[in-house]
Amino acid sequence: MVDPQLQSREGQLVPQVSFRLRQDGEWKTVSSDQLFAGRNVVVFSLPGAFTPTCSSTHLPRYNALAQVFRDHGIDQVICIAVNDPFVMEEWGKDQECGDVLLLPDGNGAFTEGMGMLVDKADLNFGKRSWRYSMLVRDRRIEKMFIEPQKEGDPFEVSDADTMLAYLAPGASKPPQVAILSRAGCPFCAKAKQALRDAGYDYADIDLPVAVRSRALGAIAKAGTVPQVFIDGELIGGSEQLDAWLKAHPGRGA
């Protein structure tokens, strides 16, 4: 049974609070009106900075799709967590998520106003936010995706792809690119430059010498770097990448 506290606020206005945050080492105060009035905003809220799902999936995917959200009329993507401003500032640096505003709700005022403040004392977290996302237009909540009330930390509906599917069904998403490489490899440098020139962001996985040959064999069935993957498909080395890019012009972000 769902706790009555965790009910959708669709159709209601967002809570009126002031947020204290740190940007570039300086203190700043912003109000709900500054963030939401006259603007279209996607918000996602999560239990805490530096926690596994939040750092590995929830925040990175919203950051990766931030430009797509902007292309479909969203002014800003905001991540809210009941953490202090220093923690959120350092988490932002660690995540390199410059396309998402990390908003510390240190006292839980906004989260409590949303009815999403939950007790995670069993994890020694104290009061934290339940995981959810919402689309806000001019302060009014149009749509909410609230995670089901289950044991643990469910992550089923508040993800970036679900929100984008609601906002813009069929929207084109930037491909997910990863490259297995090693430092000092000229062919790796050539492949990375080709990806940048084509407008692709990529994850660079620099393989340590101790595991390089085994990792290449296990992951790519190859013995040399670079090995490029796009949307889960093995493209191959720099020559194969060049051929792939010629066959797929204009797909870069």
**What are the pLDDT digits (tens) for 1-25?**
335 468 999 999 999 999 999 998 8
Q: How far is CA 24 from CA 5, 29, 85, 90, 153, in A?
A: 36, 14, 12, 10, 31
The whole-number average pLDDT for the span 32-53 is 96
For the chain, domains (ranges, CATH) are 4-167 (3.40.30.10), 177-247 (3.40.30.10)
Tokens in use for 229?
């993957």
Q: Return the half-sphere exposure (C-beta side, CA atoms, 13 A cut-off) of residue 11.
A: 2
Catalytic residue among 54, 79, 97, 188: 54
Q: Return the HEC string of 36-87.
A: HCCCEEEEEECCCCCCHHHHHHHHHHHHHHHHHHHHCCCCEEEEEECCCHHH
The pLDDT of residue 32 is: 98
Mean pLDDT of the chain: 93
The whole-number average pLDDT for the span 58-73 is 95
The whole-number average pLDDT for the span 151-160 is 93
24: left (phi over 0), alpha (psi -120 to 50) or beta: left
Looking at the predicted structure, is the pLDDT value of residue 125 above 90?
Answer: no
On whether the CB atoms of residues 17 and 110 are closer than 8 A, the answer is yes
Instruction: Tokens 């104290």: give the residue.
Output: 126
Looking at the predicted structure, is the pLDDT value of residue 246 above 80?
Answer: yes
Cβ neighbours of residue 30 closer than 8 Å, sequence gap 6 or more: 18, 19, 21, 103
Backbone angles phi, psi at 160, to 5 degrees: -65, -40
| Separation of alpha carbons 212 and 166, rounded Å | 41
| pTM of the model as a whole | 0.81
Looking at the predicted structure, is the pLDDT value of residue 122 above 90?
Answer: no
On whether the CB atoms of residues 20 and 104 are closer than 8 A, the answer is yes
**What are the pLDDT digits (tens) for 162-199?**
999 999 999 999 898 999 999 999 999 999 999 999 98
Backbone angles phi, psi at 120, to 5 degrees: -115, 40
For the question of residue 54 being annotated catalytic, the response is yes
Looking at the predicted structure, is the pLDDT value of residue 217 above 90?
Answer: yes
**What are the pLDDT digits (tens) for 43-64?**
999 999 999 999 989 999 999 9
On whether the CB atoms of residues 19 and 105 are closer than 8 A, the answer is yes
The pLDDT of residue 126 is: 80
The pLDDT of residue 2 is: 39
More confident residue, 152 or 247: 247
On whether the CB atoms of residues 175 and 65 are closer than 8 A, the answer is no
10-14, 72-76, 85-89, 121-125: which range is least confident on average?
121-125
